[in-house]
Amino acid sequence: MKNIFWLADEIAVVTGALGKLGPIWIEALLDAGAFVCALDLADAGVSAEFSKLQTRFDETRLKLDRTNVKDRQSLETACRNCIAAFGVPTILVNNAGIDRPPADSAKGYRLEDIPFDENRQIFEVNTLGLFLVTQVFGTRMVEAGRGSIINIGSLYASVSPDERFYDHIPGDPPFLKPPAYGASKAAVINLTRYLATLWAPRGVRVNALSPGGVLGGQDDEFKRKFCNRVPLGRMATAGDLRGPLLFLASQASAYVTGTELVVDGGFTAW
């Protein structure tokens, strides 16, 4: 049975490779035998987690390419580089995205004061950039007649953020989760269904994986509030995410397309 999760000789592309979740997806794919082309911005710093992967896997298995999901020319170059290094991609993980966690919010906004450009930037990366990446890499999969595309969503594609999770955080104005974030992820889920039905006859599956509440530097009070809202009583760890990704990437999900796999400990069940 374990062979249906094995990704030997598969070629994966992961955007947002240097962010919080990128190394989690990349490690899972590499450990399952895939080759990985990791994509991120030119000015994105190499995280400690990604550096560890570079130590474990040399460039015969893992390549980092600097590109911008909003720039088609740079994506076309990255695609050519990937094909030259490993071959035509068979797995695409659309992970690049913009969020605004409290720790990164030097300036907050009241709803009525949110700048237009703030919303536009989130949609440009989270939704339009994802579509552009899929145009470039997904089209190569369609031409080859096989592939699995995994769009990273969020539990906030389905439900609204609970602002009470943040009301202990000092600030004037108080922290407000960007409304464009959940809206952009909801758009990703609908886009997933659109592409899944369009490309199913061409041998390409398209699904969404929506994590919820991933542990990583949150303050203790936030974690207490959040975990009290989760039926499983805790936040997600890296280990909780690897299996769902491998399921969608591998032949274990050969008859699954157009679905959203929510990995949230039951958060959206209430």
Domain of residue 30, CATH code: 3.40.50.720
**Residue pLDDT, tens place only, 131-161:** 999 999 999 999 999 999 999 999 999 999 9
* Domain tally, the chain: 1
57 pLDDT more than 90: yes
Q: What is the pLDDT of residue 172?
A: 86
How large a percentage of the chain has pLDDT more than 90?
91
Is 270 a domain residue? no
The residue-averaged pLDDT of 223-242 equals 97
Single-letter code of the amino acid located at 220: D
Task: Identify residue 55 by its one-letter amino acid code.
Answer: T
In the predicted structure, residue 103 carries a pLDDT above the cut 70:
no
Query: Is residue 62 assigned to a domain?
Result: yes
pLDDT digits 0-9 by tens, 20-33:
999 999 999 999 99
pLDDT tens digits, residue range 182-195?
Answer: 999 999 999 999 99
- Residues of 112-138 as b/e, b for ≥16 C-beta within 10 angstroms? eeeeeeebeebbbbbbbbbbbbbebbb
Do residues 136 and 76 lie in contact, with contact meaning Cβ atoms separated by under 8 Å?
yes
In a domain, 268, yes or no: no
Range of the domain at 164: 2-263
Global pTM? 0.96
Beta bridge partners of 219: none
What pLDDT was estimated at residue 2?
64
Q: pLDDT value at position 101? A: 77
Q: Does residue 56 fall inside a structural domain?
A: yes
**Helical spans, DSSP H, in 63-171:** 72-85, 116-123, 130-133, 139-144
Note the pLDDT of residue 157: 96
Residue 120 lies in a domain: yes
